[in-house]
Structure 1
């Protein structure tokens, strides 16, 4: 943990003040520590480091050499420690509970926002302890539950509304358990009523593609090998997915639970190593519907281990 003497606060009038910027204060600290001529790494492509941040530093530290260090820390996070994996396994137990709650309470006519309230309750209340095992609560995930129904499921990353869930409709749930800000995303699709045959046809291709991808997820293979195995498998059934089918996960804050490093896509030559963790995300979206079945995985010495234990199938509630 950071030593107490290295924790430096700044005055409240730096907060949301157009006349002052917190980086002005940081520049003063650099000068006090005789660092004004150092080489300073800045993340030019970062959610929280703005153009105004860089302008302030450049104005106040004109002799410094600024270099782009985007992703430097993120790449150090790709291989997880045993403690980090322990946190992610706890997040996996939470997401298992979240999906179980969806199947328990979801029904036609239920307002989507009420269902999402149930999802959030499961996520934050966490897992109750059992004999010999202590329970634990959940943190807020870096992304809200994504829950599109029917034609809305033709696109990822859509959230909820306050409308009743219709009968004879499919909904995919892309959600994540979160423990101490470590994530375990997992997607499943639920159909209320009798699904059209196309759902089962796509499910068959997706499940076979997932198995092929997991088989390729071994130390020494490349990130693109997983995508290639997935793509070749679904091509046998006449399907194509041009976007990536996975990405690195772990410690994250809003607005994204991805680590913004490794991707399962053609051209990513990252060598897979034990204790790397990924969201294997081989979903398929069509013109007026979609199906998501995904897994969070950890690379082990023997291959891929799925972190969560939720049946890998299309769930049907007649």
Structure 2
């Protein structure tokens, strides 16, 4: 799709550490609306995000990746677990912060949403959409705020003359670049990108992705990049987390995952990527049988067992743990490797 660029070195310092994170939703039913079940959208996830890297999160629709992103932003309340953020060397669990500390966290971590039109107020001009968060975060000088907005728009190649236009006057690609600029204007350290290019045409996707990589290198930003398209995630990411039904099934370096996927689900995702170059041997597509289990009544054992072409007896009895394979960089939750 896009020519791969050489990856820059990644700072090894951990900026965000997630430990045994759970986000559950009650299922209510009956005349008295009693709880009859639980949707385990994010179920016991532990990952680390290193400063300056792009951590990709990929999986089918409904696997919990967007819920994970919103939980990291505290837009969804976690049921259990710890989310430890590095505040300039002082590490704090953001689930136990007071209102002032959460305000500081909001200035350091921003989010770019999937639909650029819904994330912008259609009744407000672009300058108003930018000006309010700057005022809330303590930028008192009106001229200083305007210059900061212009600088952010210039960074994403949007003309400053567009400040007084409404969102409906822009194309989808322009609106997404404006959403990225709004996230950048308060100088965050980490940006959570929830399907930022899935609503755009393929040609516009390439422009936005390259723009995001250039901005990351210029500002030394950290990205959490969430998408269902593994080819896009591979292009953007240094490391990739593969999710299935609320669980992490594999974590690997992006280049290694492409060459040597371990989990059968990851293999199926990779086989679905179209190959533009004709080769002597046609690429074999792995077709998964069965349906995705309900997140309310998950099967006993491995959640992927009812669709896995390589399952063994233990897969339907015991849920596999996420363990390192060969080294401490590639993790997989599969009985085939234990």
Q: Given the two structures, how large is their TM-score scaled by the length of structure 1? A: 0.26
Structure-2-length-normalised TM-score: 0.25
The structure with the larger Rg is 1
